[in-house]
Structures are given as structure tokens and as C-alpha cells.
Structure 1
Amino acid sequence: MKQKELTKKMEVLIREDHKNVGGVVVQKSGNICYEKYFNDFEKDNPFHIFSVTKSIISILIGIAVDKGMIESIDQKVLDFFPEYTIKRGEKVLQNVTIKDILTMTVPYKYKFAPYTKYFSSSDWVKSALDLMGGRGRIGEFRYAPLIGPDVLSGILIKATGKSVLDFATENLFAPLGINVEGNVVFHSKEEQIEWYKDRNMKGWVADPKGVNTAGWGLSLKTRDMAKLGQLYLNHGVWDGKQIVSSVWIEQSTQEHSHWDEKKYGYLWWIIDENENSFAALGDGGNVIYINPKKELVVAISAQFMPRVKDRITLIREYIEKSLDTLI
């Protein structure tokens, strides 16, 4: 099949089978070779990137480690929360490390996530700490979509002395030319639902104490997502400045845990070890995909829709194969 025909087929496929896609940006060797927006979205529209937020928190943890603000990811989580009162008989939580949260190998005390209790709490970090541990065993993969990663936000605040957004703006967003317009605090369930539906959502969700979420809640433009992917493709260098160390990038995008056949790094998904490709994946099909072997970055933004078709298949079967005509 000719490459132009493959590209055209890809766009038809997106409109028919990936109907919630808002934007696609493809970068080859640092240059945008394809940019297309769908469903009346434009390049200046931000999107709620859902769990892609986790991978950005991973970057921030890496920067804090690079700066010596966090001594080691092997540090115990409770070292950062001396004010937290541990429950009697709770032994597992005492041994949870930062690395355990980064690799999703922390046990939790719930079978079904208590989202109502979580969202109605005034302190989402404490809520997450309260739910960690129990009778589970550290080391077994257990994906925590929302409840759990917020502990990393609490650690960043304790370690840096700044809010997560302020630390991110100073050390990551501003150097890359990314603008995140402040905190978003919900006062009701209805406000939260409306924010999800907003076609021009902005900011970073925070709990009532102003602590930004770590597992979801950040809104970015599609080009912003591509910039973050390019930063990792560039081994952490942007405009000649080392933003995050190449050592952290290498460590965080290697397999440290797995979920069946799916491999996981430090809040990054490992896609293909032969090509060293990896991705940040968010609900609704939001993706930052990096393939170092092909010097490729793909960012896909989308509005929420349940049970979307696999975006990695879309990238590998159509976008990568269309590169000859995109360049």
C-alpha cells in the first residue's frame, strides 16, 4: 500500500474507530512531521490527560532526586510524613518505599476503590496513606488509577518545600514553554463532571488543601504532550539544558514490575524492549509514545470515552508505517 494511502486510511480509521481523538502530533528527529486535529479541536485546546499525569509525576520525582531533594527512591514513604499516625498492627505501610509506589507494587486495603470517600475527603494524601498496606504484600503489581499516587505529590511538597505545580512550573513546564493555568478545586460532584466535559479545560486538579493530584487531573495541549515525549527522547536535555538526568530516564523506562504481559517502569509503560519504546497512557486513549530507535514521538489527546480501542496498535500499525509520507 502506498504511504499516502496509508495516511489517509489512518485518518479515516481515527474518525470511525477512535471517535474521541482530539489531536495527533508526530515528531521525527525533533521535528513535527504530522499534526492533525479532529472533532473541531485546535492546537490551543488543552485536554485532561488522565493517567498520563502519572508519568509527569515520575519526571518530577526524578528531578527532585537529581537535585538531592529526595535522597533515594528507596526511602520509606513514612519518613516524609512523621506527623502521620500509623494504625495499630499496621506493619506493611511502614516498609513501603517511593519505588514501590512508582512501580505500582503497593498493596491496598480495598477491593473496590472507594472513590466517593476519596473525593469527599479534605486531604487526598492522607486518604491514600490510610488505604495503603493492610494484609497485602509489597512487590505484587496492583495498578492504582487514582487512589495511591497522590502520596507522591505529598512527598514532592515535603521534599521541595513548594507546591507540585510550582515545582513543576519552575523545573519542567516553564523550560519547555508549557503553561498550566493554576489549580482546579472541585466543590461538588457536578463541578467535577462539568470539568470533564469542558472542551477548553485548564489547570491541574488539587484537593481542598491545594495538593495537586498525581494519578490524574492535569490538562495539557497536544503539543505540550509531544514536548514531554521529546524531552525523554533527548535524554532529558532541552535547549541545551539538562532538565532531568539521562540516568533517571533510563531507569524509569526499564521494566521494574509487570501486569500479566504488560511491563511497567516508574509510572511509564514499557511497549517494546527491542526498540526501547515506552509510553505514558491515560484513560480515554491519551498517549505520549516514545520510540528512541526510530527517533519518534507521538502524542495523542482525547476526550474521555469508555472502552476505547488500543491507541498503541494505532500508532504502531498506522502512524509508524506512514512515516515515509509524513516526513
Structure 2
Amino acid sequence: MNEEKITALEKKIQKEHGNIAGMVVLKDGRTVYENYFNGCGADDTIHVFSVTKSIVSILAGIAIDRGYIGSVAQKVLDFFPDYTVKRGEKTIQTITLKNLLTMTAPYKFRSAPYTRFFSSEDWVMAALDLLGGRKPAGEFRYMEMIGPDILSGILSNATGQPVLDFAREALFEPLHIAVASNIVLYTPQEHVAFIKKNCASGWVADEKGHNTAGWGLTLTAVDMAKIGQLYLDGGKWEGRQIVSEEWVAESTAEHSRWEKEKLSYGYLWWTGILNGYAAMGNSGNIIYVNPADKMVVSIAALFKPTAKDIMEFIEKDIKPLFCGAEG
């Protein structure tokens, strides 16, 4: 690889994407680029924000593969038999797992009641209480934090174990990914401090031990690249089928669309992204997979509310530089 071009790329990272902590580029299954910034290193885990959602999607696929969950057509309330539906509520009884995975579930609020939600000890039940409302299921409505946690409750109830335990056995350990432990945030101040912390470690959970499904997971840039390569290889890792090829294809196909932003959505994966698909999180965190070019780009980024468009950076600077790379 031309050292001058690499130097130019890294200067652009420092100038325009100064919150990047680590970046890995894989081509044809080999690492063609790996570097770290902001004092971070290969072993530093970063809060990847909504990339967490795509990890939860993989776990849902594994649970279906193993028979813990029948299909995405199952009703959400099938997994919560003790939940009491309030009088007159009908919509919540129609909502399926697929609605949660495709962001087409309705909710009873216009603006997210974060304070009330996060002050609850049980975020799964708090999210269930907000699920439904007057609108029927089917319209795309992106839920950053409130809503996806219901998937955490579904996975726990279906598999009979905490999500982190299931994730370790089914996904993380086979890929040699280490997620230390649960992180419980008891106060708003702790919540803000976690988001702003440069090198956090673990997976956020509520006081009941339910792991977050929309945010809160910490990974290294290499961990993220492994997830991308797993999907690029049809769910296989080191010769072992971790998640079915059918789920990989189904979860990265378009099932819904955010018309306002002109973005298509699969099962907690953004689809139709530069001839590929991506797990995307706040501040430029991303796992980008391009099957045609056999390319994976993972970027772990520190919190920055005004981060520049990471997809434009991949399209204009990373792809042209590495798609023909031989290492």
C-alpha cells in the first residue's frame, strides 16, 4: 500500500474525524489496514452506541436457529405471559418480533420519556408499557433507546439466561470477543459519564440485569471487524456456523424504510448502504460490509455529537484506497 496515501488518509482522520479511536479494514478476509488514534489501542473497548442493535439482531437469529424462538412472526406478548394488557389496548397484542426488528412497532409517545424510562428498575417492562397506542404496526419509527430493550427481554425469556451470558456462549466466545461484565448506571450523572467515557468496558444493564438492546455495548475495532467478517462469510467463523446463512441474508435485506432519511432497514441493520449494509452507531461507530468487494470496514469512535458523515468518508476515502489493495 502506498505510504503517502496512507499518510494522507490519517491526516484526514485527524483533521475531519478526530474522534475516531480505531479503524480496521479487511479485504478478502485479510487485514489490510489497522490503526488507532486518540491514545487508544487495539485492546481498548469503546461504546459503540447503536451498533449494539445489530449484535442483538445476530443473537435473535441464533435463538431462532436453535429453536428458542419460533419465528419473527411470533407475537411480542407470547414471550411475556405474565404481562397484563391494560383495558382497551388492542394494538400491543398484534405487534410481532419482526415489528421490533424492523422498527415498525408503534409507541404511545411523541417524544421519548427518557427520564421516566431510565429511572425505572426494569427497562424491559417500562418499554412494554410504552409499546402500542392508537396507530397500528407497520410504519417505520426509529427507536434509539426506548423500545429495543424489549428484545432483550424476549431473548432472556426465550433462552432462559441473561443476554450477556447467551451472547458469550453463542457469539462472543467463538469469535474470541471479550465483554467484561454488566454495567449498571444508577443515576443520570453515571449515564452521562458512561456515554462520554473514552474507554468503557462491558455491557450496560438495568437493575434487573437486562442488557440494553439499542446501545450500551462496548467493543474493540477488531471485535467489530470480526462481526463484519462473520456476516460477509455467511455466518461462518473458523469453519463453524455461528448464525445461519439464511438469517444473515434475511436480516440484511430491506424490510422497512425510513422515507424521511431515504434509508432502508433490515433486521436492525441498515441496508442498501454503498452496495452493502452496515451496523451504525452515534458518533461514527460503524461496521460496514460490502459483499461484492469482499470488504469490511470497522470504525470505533469516541462520543462526539457533531461527528461528520462516516459513510461519505468510507465512500470517498476508504473504498477507493483499499478495494484494490493486496496488503
Aligned equivalents of 2:102, 2:187: Cα separation in 1: 32
Q: Partner letter of residue 124 of structure 1?
A: W
Q: Could you say what secondary structure the match of 1:301 adopts?
A: strand
Aligned equivalents of 2:3, 2:308: Cα separation in 1: 23
Aligned residue runs from structure 1 range 136-215, under 5 A: 136-215=135-214
Aligned equivalents of 1:45, 1:209: Cα separation in 2: 27
Aligned equivalents of 1:89, 1:307: Cα separation in 2: 43
Count of residue correspondences: 324
Partner residue in 2 for 1:279: 278
Partner residue in 1 for 2:50: 51
Residues 4 and 325, structure 1, Cα contact 8 Å, conserved in 2: no
Partner residue in 2 for 1:291: 290
Aligned equivalents of 1:61, 1:165: Cα separation in 2: 13
Partner residue in 2 for 1:112: 111
Aligned equivalents of 2:150, 2:273: Cα separation in 1: 29
Deviation, structure 1 residue 198:
2.7
Q: Could you say what secondary structure the match of 1:290 adopts?
A: strand
Q: Partner letter of residue 47 of structure 1?
A: I
Q: Could you say what secondary structure the match of 1:106 adopts?
A: coil
Aligned equivalents of 2:72, 2:95: Cα separation in 1: 11
Partner residue in 2 for 1:268: 269
**Gap runs ≥5 in structure 2:** none
Deviation, structure 1 residue 147:
0.2
Measured against aligned partners, the alpha-carbon deviations of 1:209-241 in whole angstroms (never above 9, x if no partner) come to 000000000001110000000100110011111
Measured against aligned partners, the alpha-carbon deviations of 1:52-83 in whole angstroms (never above 9, x if no partner) come to 00000000000000001100110000011111
Aligned equivalents of 2:194, 2:124: Cα separation in 1: 22
Q: Partner letter of residue 300 of structure 2?
A: S
Aligned equivalents of 1:88, 1:108: Cα separation in 2: 16
Q: Could you say what secondary structure the match of 2:292 adopts?
A: helix
Measured against aligned partners, the alpha-carbon deviations of 1:268-324 in whole angstroms (never above 9, x if no partner) come to 001348x3x100000111000000100100000011111311111111211110114
Range with bigger deviation, 97-106 or 309-318: 309-318
Aligned equivalents of 2:325, 2:28: Cα separation in 1: 15
Partner residue in 2 for 1:94: 93
Aligned residue runs from structure 1 range 69-80, under 5 A: 69-80=68-79
Aligned equivalents of 1:176, 1:58: Cα separation in 2: 16
Partner residue in 2 for 1:68: 67
Partner residue in 1 for 2:14: 15
Aligned equivalents of 2:214, 2:229: Cα separation in 1: 22
Q: Partner letter of residue 116 of structure 1?
A: T
Residues 34 and 326, structure 1, Cα contact 8 Å, conserved in 2: no
Aligned equivalents of 2:31, 2:183: Cα separation in 1: 31
Deviation, structure 1 residue 136:
1.5
Aligned equivalents of 1:152, 1:133: Cα separation in 2: 15
The answer to whether 1:246 aligns with 2:245 is: yes
Range with bigger deviation, 189-198 or 139-148: 189-198
Aligned equivalents of 2:299, 2:202: Cα separation in 1: 19
Q: Partner letter of residue 177 of structure 1?
A: H
CA-based RMSD: 1.4
Deviation, structure 1 residue 199:
2.7
Aligned equivalents of 1:179, 1:104: Cα separation in 2: 29
Deviation, structure 1 residue 254:
0.3
Residues 47 and 199, structure 2, Cα contact 8 Å, conserved in 1: no
Q: Could you say what secondary structure the match of 1:217 adopts?
A: coil
Q: Partner letter of residue 268 of structure 2?
A: L
Deviation, structure 1 residue 13:
1.7
Aligned equivalents of 1:48, 1:185: Cα separation in 2: 14
Aligned equivalents of 2:3, 2:248: Cα separation in 1: 35
Aligned equivalents of 1:207, 1:197: Cα separation in 2: 19
Deviation, structure 1 residue 325:
5.0
TM-score (norm 1): 0.96
Taking every aligned residue pair, what percent have the same amino acid on both sides? Answer: 53
Partner residue in 2 for 1:28: 27
